[in-house]
Structure 1
Amino acid sequence: MPSNVLVGLQWGDEGKGKITDLLAKNSNYVIRYQGGNNSGHSIHINNRYFILHLIPSGVVYPSVKCIIGPGVVIDPKSLIQEIQDIESIGINTSQVFLAKRAHLTMPYHRLLDKYKEESLGNKSIGTTHRGIGPTYEDKIARMGIRVLDFLNQKIFYRKLKENIDYKNQIITKIYKRKPVSFKEIYEEYMEYAKELHPRVIDAVHEIHRAFHEEKKILFEGAQAMLLDINYGTYPYVTTSSTSTGGVCVGSGVPPTFLKNFIGIAKAYCTRVGYGPFPTEIKNKEMSHFIREKGKEYGATTKRPRRCGWLDLFSLKYSCMINGINYLIITKLDVLSQLETIKICVEYRIHGKVLPNFPANIELFEEKVEAIYMDFPGWKQNISQIYEYEELPKNCKKYINFIESYLNLNILLISVGSERSQNIIKDKSSFFKIFS
């Protein structure tokens, strides 16, 4: 049975957690394929918020098997705390499993992340200091420690000793800080290994077996397309492949396993931290209105998000890279009450229209100009509307223009944070995919 992939198409925070939770109900597996605990997925059910950082969003359903895949980097302390927090509110986590090939985030990774950012000053990327980048650096440098390593006491001892001897040279000689303690980290992580050992599986073979048994599989990413290490606004990106292509390398599956590529975009744009943002709203009053109404604060860091108008020029690029065949629009309700709503339809630089989304940061730094079309707003509260036909006329014009520009059908529209606050626009496709 072909699998479904769910990806964010902007700079993250598109509401992937809510949508994954919604779609997971009719799935047998939810697989997280990249990223670490630097991202957060918020789920809102019956006036209760759940924030997930590493655990896949299908965890609220006892019948769904949740796998943290080989492409994810795991901070075991964070994962154990997350499991405890989820269980404390009555959610069973017995179906949460961890890929043995996933790499471990260590205390020295977090320190190196912090020290590097501090040393860069105003040229820093704006990371969360969770050690995600340094963990992926070690993975690529073939120095990483995997989950399967810390389940073997002798192997973990040797690899940790080698890493700490090397990392302490950097910490003490380059950053002039105190060295980390091998003994403390070793003993700490041995306790984590005991606790996580029952959850460790050979995820690659498990996923392949599930596919051949025609199980319904939903692949869930973190962050979003414009933060992709290869195709995002480099260097202001994350350190993994957030695109649909990342599913294959992050889960160990061939492209033939995948069929439906579902992209999620907000009805406007946000961005956390530094980096290009051509449609950022400079009007402080308008930006504040959207931020407060949309509750645009980081699920992980609580940092206020920069707010901007919907950018269809970048969204078209994201859809192309990801091969998106269905689109989901979230937070449409946030735009209610506005007199005029803008949509970016092209970029210009020095008066010339750019043919494609820029690859180099220098073009953005030369002041890319976002060119807008204005749409009349709607004054109606749409958060309790469940049928597309009942939306205000101007609201439907806004949605129809998005579909026309992108040449894509919108599958579903989210009009509130609750699990039930959705409008299924393309019912035939939705129920064909998720029934």
Structure 2
Amino acid sequence: MPTLAIIGAQWGDEGKGKITDYLAEGADMVVRYQGGANAGHTIKIGEEVFALHLLPSGILRKDVMAVIGNGMVLDLDRLEEELEALKEKGISGENLKISDRVNIVLPYHRTLDGAQERSRGAKVVGTTGRGIGPCYADKISREGIRMGDLLDEELLRSRLDLVLPIKERFAASLGENLDIHREKLIAKLLEYGKKYEACVCDTSVLINDAIKAGKNVMFEGAQGTMLDIDYGTYPYVTSSNCTSAGICTGAGVPPSAVQEVVGIVKAYTTRVGAGPFVTELHDDIGETLLKNGGEFGTTTGRARRCGWLDLVVVRHAVRLNGLTSIALTKLDVLNGLSELKVCTAYEIDGEIVRNFPGNYRQLEKAVPVYETLAGWDNWTEKTSKLCAGGFEALPTKMKEYVAYIEKDIGVPVGIISVGKGRNETIDRRQNKW
């Protein structure tokens, strides 16, 4: 199994950071292929907690090459902050490689992000304001600045001469003044170019060479399937392809290069920001999930909306991503609940629907069709000790919950996580590094 992809199967925040770090132990390379500083992965190693936004999880292991692929949008100011924070904890970041084709988030992208969101009035999308959407929009409209441009002053100047007047006119139409000092911006970008020149390369060649050499390559997704620009709850989505299909364009590899696809599924459901959420809870149980799960965004700090597990969503992710197994996270958060509800279908205008609709107005009318399962006690034994006994050591009702999910989605639960630590994990997979 030389290649493995990690995909969020819900609205992000499923615990991808922990699972990616866990699986990275056997990887030679970890590649982040989409998204930007609007994403966040929290990883706990011993008593140390790391919050990553741009950097691939492999950055925490010095013997693993960490790659920022061309499908990302890269905020160099945020990258600086993140690398400095790691250096303070003794992690050098010298194992980082950056695609020469990755688009750069610039100050005017952040300004335009906020201005566009305000212009939507009551119909806000709920962006993080990090400039992600405007940067991806520039990429598609061929107005972007790429990392390789920062290594060529003449090219950089010509690109900004073309782009800046367009952005200034657009900002003015939204009532904003960009107030960009052209020469200061160029100087700063050229300085970044010199600083990171040794890291910049054609990462597609790097990745494909590693695969051909039989190296273990992991592709790390950000956000989740339901935030995918095509297949998520549009328009309440991010601006990139979060599904496994995004790996090909975002990392520069053929479809045949991706062999195992692990979907990360939280044992319940959460989402951040606006948009339809069929199983959302507005009661004490929702508050319990929020509190016990620590459901606050790694990037924004916003409280996540919480609800029961939605298998309509998970089946949608299974089909789109070609999931070969799932990693079920945060099972411990359900400890002590007397009963658990699982959504298996929606009722929309009197019709039972088992596939996820593309029209968000239908989702706003959808009523969840629930199955009720028995919960399990709030055990007091340390989860690391419990995990040492393997799957059979888990509470009976927890095992039944896992089996129910497997049967409904038709995909095995290969990994079970019952805590933040690496040792609070049960690995049932047949194929491993």
TM-score (norm 1): 0.96
Task: Give a deviation string over 1:218-264, Cα, whole Å, max 9, x none.
Answer: 00010010100111111111100100000001011001111101111
Q: How many residues align?
A: 428
The Cα shift of 1:357 comes to 1.1
Equivalent residue of 1:341, what SS?
strand
CA contact under 8 A between 1:172 and 1:179: conserved in structure 2?
A: no
Cα pair distance change 1:173/1:357, threshold 3 Å: closer
After TM superposition, the structure 1 = structure 2 runs for residues 174-213 of structure 1, keeping only pairs within 5 Å, are 174-213=174-213
- Residue type matched to 2:378 in 1? Q
Residue of structure 2 in register with 1:377 after alignment:
375
Task: Give a deviation string over 1:126-150, Cα, whole Å, max 9, x none.
Answer: 0000000000000000111110011
CA contact under 8 A between 1:125 and 1:235: conserved in structure 2?
A: yes
Alignment of 1:164 with 2:167, yes or no, is no
The Cα shift of 1:178 comes to 4.9
Q: Distance in 2 between matches of 1:210 and 1:417?
A: 30
The Cα shift of 1:389 comes to 0.6
Task: Give a deviation string over 1:313-333, Cα, whole Å, max 9, x none.
Answer: 111111001000111100000
CA contact under 8 A between 1:171 and 1:179: conserved in structure 2?
A: no
The Cα shift of 1:172 comes to 2.2
CA contact under 8 A between 1:2 and 1:257: conserved in structure 2?
A: no
Task: Give a deviation string over 1:305-359, Cα, whole Å, max 9, x none.
Answer: 0001000111111100100011110000000011111100111112210142101
The Cα shift of 1:44 comes to 0.7
Residue of structure 2 in register with 1:237 after alignment:
237
Equivalent residue of 2:259, what SS?
strand
The Cα shift of 1:425 comes to 2.9
- Greater shift, 180-189 or 397-406, is seen at 180-189
Equivalent residue of 2:236, what SS?
coil
Q: Distance in 1 between matches of 2:107 and 2:224?
A: 26
Residue of structure 2 in register with 1:147 after alignment:
147
Q: Distance in 2 between matches of 1:113 and 1:96?
A: 28
Residue of structure 1 in register with 2:56 after alignment:
56
Q: Distance in 2 between matches of 1:16 and 1:415?
A: 14
Equivalent residue of 1:433, what SS?
coil
CA contact under 8 A between 1:263 and 1:319: conserved in structure 2?
A: yes
Equivalent residue of 2:274, what SS?
coil
- Greater shift, 87-96 or 164-173, is seen at 164-173
Residue of structure 1 in register with 2:363 after alignment:
364
Residue of structure 1 in register with 2:313 after alignment:
314
Equivalent residue of 2:19, what SS?
helix
Alignment of 1:329 with 2:323, yes or no, is no
The Cα shift of 1:46 comes to 1.2
Cα pair distance change 1:178/1:59, threshold 3 Å: closer
CA contact under 8 A between 1:348 and 1:370: conserved in structure 2?
A: yes
- Residue type matched to 2:334 in 1? L
Q: Distance in 2 between matches of 1:247 and 1:151?
A: 26
Alignment of 1:408 with 2:406, yes or no, is no
Residue of structure 1 in register with 2:20 after alignment:
20
CA contact under 8 A between 2:312 and 2:354: conserved in structure 1?
A: no
Residue of structure 1 in register with 2:290 after alignment:
291
Equivalent residue of 2:432, what SS?
helix
Q: Distance in 1 between matches of 2:144 and 2:282?
A: 43
Task: Give a deviation string over 1:146-194, Cα, whole Å, max 9, x none.
Answer: 1001111111111112211111111124324353222232222222222
CA contact under 8 A between 2:7 and 2:242: conserved in structure 1?
A: yes
The root-mean-square deviation of aligned C-alpha atoms, in Å, is 1.2
Alignment of 1:43 with 2:46, yes or no, is no
After TM superposition, the structure 1 = structure 2 runs for residues 239-258 of structure 1, keeping only pairs within 5 Å, are 239-258=239-258
CA contact under 8 A between 2:111 and 2:178: conserved in structure 1?
A: no
- Residue type matched to 1:409 in 2? P
- Residue type matched to 1:276 in 2? P
Q: Distance in 2 between matches of 1:174 and 1:324?
A: 42
CA contact under 8 A between 1:380 and 1:392: conserved in structure 2?
A: no
Q: Distance in 2 between matches of 1:151 and 1:298?
A: 35
What is the identity percentage for the equivalent residue pairs of Structure 1 and Structure 2? 40
Task: Give a deviation string over 1:82-102, Cα, whole Å, max 9, x none.
Answer: 111111100121111100010
- Greater shift, 370-379 or 302-311, is seen at 370-379
Residue of structure 2 in register with 1:263 after alignment:
263
- Greater shift, 385-394 or 135-144, is seen at 385-394
Residue of structure 2 in register with 1:94 after alignment:
94
Residue of structure 2 in register with 1:83 after alignment:
83
Q: Distance in 2 between matches of 1:184 and 1:288?
A: 48
Task: Give a deviation string over 1:35-72, Cα, whole Å, max 9, x none.
Answer: 00110110011121101111100111111001000101
Any gaps of 5 or more consecutive residues in structure 1? none
- Residue type matched to 1:58 in 2? G
Q: Distance in 2 between matches of 1:292 and 1:192?
A: 41
Q: Distance in 1 between matches of 2:24 and 2:189?
A: 32
Cα pair distance change 1:64/1:172, threshold 3 Å: same
Q: Distance in 2 between matches of 1:60 and 1:314?
A: 31
